[in-house]
Amino acid sequence: MGRYEEIFKRSMSDKEGFWGEAAEKISWVKKWDKVIDESNPPFYKWFVGGELNTCYNALDRHVEGGRGSQTALIYDSPVTEVKKKYTYSELRDEVAKVAGMLAGLGVTKGDTVIIYMPMVPEAVMSMLACARIGAVHSVVFGGFAPNELAIRINDAMPKVIISGSCGIEGKKVIEYKPLLDKAIDLAEHKPQNTIIFQRPMCTAPLTAGRDKDWNELMATATPAPCVTVKATDPLYILYTSGTTGIPKGIVRDNGGHAVALYQSMKMIYDINPGEVFWAASDVGWVVGHSYIVYAPLLIGATTICYEGKPIGTPDPGAFWRIISEYGVKALFTAPTAFRAIKKEDPTGSYISKYDLSNFKYLFLAGERLDPDTYHWAANLLKRPVVDHWWQTETGWAIAANCMGVEQLPIKAGSPTKSVPGFDVKILNEKGEELGPNQEGIVAIRTPLPPACLPTLWKNDKRFKESYMDPFPGFYFTGDGGYKDEDGYLYIMGRVDDVINVAGHRLSTGAMEEVIATHPDIAECAVFGAEDNLKGQVPVGLFVLKAGVTRTEEEIVPELVKMIRDQIGAIACFKQASLIKRLPKTRSGKILRGTMRKIADGKEYSIPSTIDDPAILGEIEEALQNIGYAKK
């Protein structure tokens, strides 16, 4: 039996021993009474009775342990030409002041704070500062459209919102303050205060009485100590697209999160204290939470906050420069980034300009890693390219080739096997387990390991309905897939209508809701089509109201603008086509899955429930006209 097999089997047969041992590696104010409380399924609780502080574990502990002079955070911003390093001591001191600034505005344990920031060190500090005083942070991707931000304000009900004056996308300055002001106007809940971090390239006007200047508050802030919280208290809320268009507030606890993320750094990524780990993501997404901010700092590594792109800031060698300059051991990013690099530099010529001698692993996640991109990266780097699969809901990898345990043979297209702690099964629609190479629904036997969502923010009912009710005793991942004869997992894509655009999960339902408000449109469908660069992009089909004589050329730009304004540019909605009517079942259900297959040029069978099979030929033609449905 190999080392992976041994560890995995123990994680299944002795959950309490396995996770109790892992929990000994972090610092507790009060040790737990029970490793796991299974008395109220599906609401499982980890480390009940335990008390700790996540910020203390991420910063103060390392300073007290003699690592204060080690670099904790590197800020590298090619878009502003700024580079800065913070040691553990410096970062702890800054975070303590930010925490004091929040406390000075009345933020206390259990209050919520929304963070709407670009990729700057102050975003990282704000998150850690909330953790320091026991406040619950909810980071919203900087530049998100006002109505999406307003929905999150209403749900999280923040006492304070922290925002930057602007973000930078390539060469464009995106002003955040007008978006924030509009969101607050739209929201029923009003924050008591906002804190604005003014950036040199854009000074935002402040609203008297409500808006406060970051630098002015920091100048007089008293450093705040760590506040002890329960292991089961919430650390943060992170909103993910829901199929209804209403986002779901994923809750992360303090205790289980710290234990699992600490464990994952060594087990999956093979990172030790003092080594440099880089997650090229954004703090607005779960990868940024887990692997820019919390996990690297919990283990005492050096992490990187990068404000740039894989290409164009300034060229396709951007990632190689960072790896070379800072001695990065492992990079974690989305396959999209590598597809972009490959498109701009197909021969990988830029890599020869840099010293990658410290670089050991490339980890890819966030969407399916297509074999073509895997082989290109593996051939170029001559290092393990590790596909791994996880979700916002889990907070860390469900399946991976665990580099810190035992490197298993890599199979292109598979994220390898279940990470110790995750009991992954393939089920049919009746909930029966399927055998090797039989495609079904990917589910995880409960209880889920530590750090996975214990519930949704103030919505236990939706948590049960969304994740636990479909297959009792299992967590429903929403993904389809299979395991091969060696137990390797293959994820084939979403079984619902949430699509994955460049690693960002977006609801097609939410996009349909926006398009449906157009005065000329009777009905519409949005679904994900395969895209070589972004994994998936949304494609829309729409039917005009009777009597409307306007053309596709007139209407499509209006739809693109509506989606951009109300969902955000990250939706990448650019393609739509006018059709006479949508294909539906006799009961009126739109056949999105069939249209997706047509768009991707795949074989499809005509559903027996379709009301008019002839319509599918028209759909194919409409999609061909906008560049899809190529055989």
Q: What is the pLDDT of residues 383-435, one digit of tens each?
A: 999 999 999 999 999 999 999 999 999 999 899 999 999 999 999 989 999 99
498-625 under CATH 3.40.309.10, yes or no: no
What would the 3-class secondary structure string for 210-228 be?
CEEEHHHHHHHCCCCCCCC
- From residue 489, give the alpha-carbon distance in Å to each of 378, 440, 455, 483, 502: 20, 12, 26, 4, 22
For residues 95-99, average pLDDT:
98
pLDDT of residue 496: 63
Q: Is the confidence at residue 91, as pLDDT, over 60?
A: yes
Q: Is the confidence at residue 299, as pLDDT, over 90?
A: yes
Q: To the nearest whole percent, how much of the chain has pLDDT over 70?
A: 96
pLDDT of residue 16: 98
pLDDT of residue 608: 55
pLDDT of residue 604: 84
User: At 39, is the pLDDT very low, low, confident or very high (cuts 50, 70, 90)?
Assistant: very high
Q: Is the confidence at residue 214, as pLDDT, over 80?
A: yes
Write out the H or E segment, with its range, that includes residue 193: strand 193-197
3-class secondary structure, 389: strand
User: At 588, is the pLDDT very low, low, confident or very high (cuts 50, 70, 90)?
Assistant: low
User: At 586, is the pLDDT very low, low, confident or very high (cuts 50, 70, 90)?
Assistant: low
Best CA proximity match to 185, nearest among 142, 139, 154, 144:
154
For residues 215-225, average pLDDT:
98
The CB density around residue 572, as the number of other CB atoms within 10 Å, is 21
Q: Is the confidence at residue 509, as pLDDT, over 80?
A: no
pLDDT of residue 585: 62
Top-tier CATH class for 3-308+388-477: alpha beta
User: At 336, is the pLDDT very low, low, confident or very high (cuts 50, 70, 90)?
Assistant: confident
> How far is Cα 312 from Cα 40, in angstroms, rounded to an integer?
51
318-387 and 498-625 in the same fold: no
pLDDT of residue 244: 53
Amino acid in the structure at residue 422? F
pLDDT tens figures, 428-486: 989 999 999 998 899 999 999 999 999 999 999 999 999 999 999 999 999 888 999 99
Q: What is the pTM of this model?
A: 0.86
pLDDT of residue 170: 77
> How far is Cα 461 from Cα 119, in angstroms, rounded to an integer?
34
pLDDT of residue 242: 57
pLDDT of residue 116: 97
Enumerate residues 6+ apart whose C-beta is below 8 A from 193. 105, 159, 160, 161, 210, 211, 212
pLDDT tens figures, 360-385: 999 999 877 877 789 999 999 999 99
Q: Where are the domains of the chain?
A: 3-308+388-477, 318-387, 498-625
pLDDT of residue 577: 93
pLDDT of residue 614: 85
**N-to-C CA span, the chain:** 46
pLDDT of residue 4: 98
pLDDT of residue 332: 98
318-387 under CATH 3.30.450.20, yes or no: no
pLDDT of residue 320: 98
Q: Is the confidence at residue 507, as pLDDT, over 80?
A: no
For residues 505-513, average pLDDT:
76
